[in-house]
């Protein structure tokens, strides 16, 4: 069920825009309908009130909790079941954040990522994306939503942008605390720039070498690292939010001095921050995680050379490693089917 379907159903019951807004606002804030100055029995049309129990059941059924896997860092990886039997991962982040999935599987095929190994199974609807946030809010407060879970948001643009618009207008979440993460897509840059709600932008860079980028991200749009940085810089200057460049640090692949020189050449002076994340080991893949000491030295060297660099670790790494591993492992014991 996507958000427009929900709105259409409410309109068919006689709901006016203010009624739609009230119901959707209460849903995305995970709060009861009787909060606020206007009581439902005095404000909502009778057909809408009568339909609310069935609608609530469907809204809650879009994202159900299958299992919770707490991490030592205060995060928790959630395996979330969708209404058709598929499953995605949602991550409760430290400091009141949540990471949501936008696709079941992924078509980009990043060589170091578990999610894309089975390709794209299906899109996650706008309603299912928002439902992940609502599910997270039933566990703990949510003040930030990052679209960095399973899938490539730019390949599900209509659903993702619809979810961002609702979250940015009704969920009491600041626009800069909605983070759209992508490998880079010209259509996404154009749509984001024209959107009413303009989220912060995170771009998967991973290397400064065009040839290596094509190897690591074989089905990403054919943008060079320089072109990606230029698109990000334009958006960052237009919105005032620094663009976040994501760099999965792979031992012996993108951790050499030549890459550091390339990063400085591309990013120095840009309205940007480089998030460097040491690779999460995945069984059966040849990539290796560098030592934390090496990663820290690289981040410090870049910072000294004028590139704002933050060394991060994936939330809940002690639980299941990279995104997609939990779903892949648990899929052996629950029905996961393609449609």
Residues involved in catalysis: 89, 323
Contact of 246 with 206, CB cutoff 8 Å: yes
Rounded distance between C-alpha atoms, residue 188 and residue 175, angstroms: 17
Comparing CA positions, the residue from 135, 109, 104 lying closest to residue 336 is 104
Task: Give ∠ CA 158-231-122 in degrees, rounded to 5.
Answer: 30
Contact of 210 with 225, CB cutoff 8 Å: yes
Indicate the helix (H) or strand (E) that contains 278: strand 272-278
Rounded distance between C-alpha atoms, residue 119 and residue 103, angstroms: 10
User: Residue 283's beta-bridge partner residues?
Assistant: none
Half-sphere exposure of 178 (CA within 13 A, CB side): 26
In b/e form, how buried is each residue of 218-256, taking b as 16+ CB within 10 angstroms? ebbbebebeebbebbbebbeebebbbbbbbbbbeebbbe
Question: In 103-253, which ranges are E strands?
Answer: 103-105, 120-123, 144-147, 178-182, 200-204, 243-249
Distances (CA, A) of 291 to 44, 60, 278, 279, 296: 58, 42, 8, 10, 9
Comparing CA positions, the residue from 200, 220, 225, 198 lying closest to residue 210 is 225
């Amino acid at each position: 069920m996507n958000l427009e379907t929900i709105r259409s159903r409410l309109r068919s019951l006689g709901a006016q825009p203010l009624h739609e807004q009230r119901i959707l606002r209460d849903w995305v804030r995970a709060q009861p309908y009787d909060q606020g100055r206007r009581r439902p029995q005095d404000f909502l049309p009778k057909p809408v009130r009568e339909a609310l129990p069935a609608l609530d059941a469907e809204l809650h059924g879009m994202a159900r909790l299958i299992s919770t896997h707490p991490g030592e860092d205060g995060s928790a990886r959630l395996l979330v079941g969708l209404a058709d039997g598929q499953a995605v991962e949602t991550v409760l982040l430290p400091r009141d954040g949540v990471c949501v999935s936008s696709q079941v599987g992924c078509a980009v095929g990043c060589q170091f990522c578990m999610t894309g190994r089975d390709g794209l199974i299906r899109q996650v609807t706008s309603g299912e994306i928002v439902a992940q946030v609502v599910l997270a809010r039933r566990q703990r407060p949510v003040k930030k939503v990052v679209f960095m879970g399973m899938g490539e948001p730019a390949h599900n643009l209509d659903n993702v942008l619809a979810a961002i618009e609702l979250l940015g207008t009704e969920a009491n979440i600041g626009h800069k605390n909605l983070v759209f993460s992508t490998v880079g897509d010209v259509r996404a840059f154009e749509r984001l720039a024209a959107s009413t709600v303009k989220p912060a932008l995170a771009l998967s860079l991973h290397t400064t070498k065009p040839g290596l980028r094509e190897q690591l991200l074989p089905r990403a749009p054919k943008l060079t690292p320089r072109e990606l940085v230029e698109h990000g810089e334009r958006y960052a200057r237009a919105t005032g939010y620094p663009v976040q460049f994501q760099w999965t640090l792979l031992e012996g692949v993108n951790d050499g001095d030549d890459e550091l020189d390339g990063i400085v050449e591309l990013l120095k002076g840009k309205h940007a921050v480089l998030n460097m994340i040491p690779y999460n080991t995945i069984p059966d893949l040849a990539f290796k995680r560098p030592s934390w000491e090496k990663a820290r030295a690289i981040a410090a060297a870049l910072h000294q050379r004028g590139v704002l660099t933050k060394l991060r670790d994936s939330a809940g790494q002690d639980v299941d490693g990279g995104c997609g591993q939990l779903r892949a492992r648990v899929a052996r014991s629950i029905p996961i089917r393609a449609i």
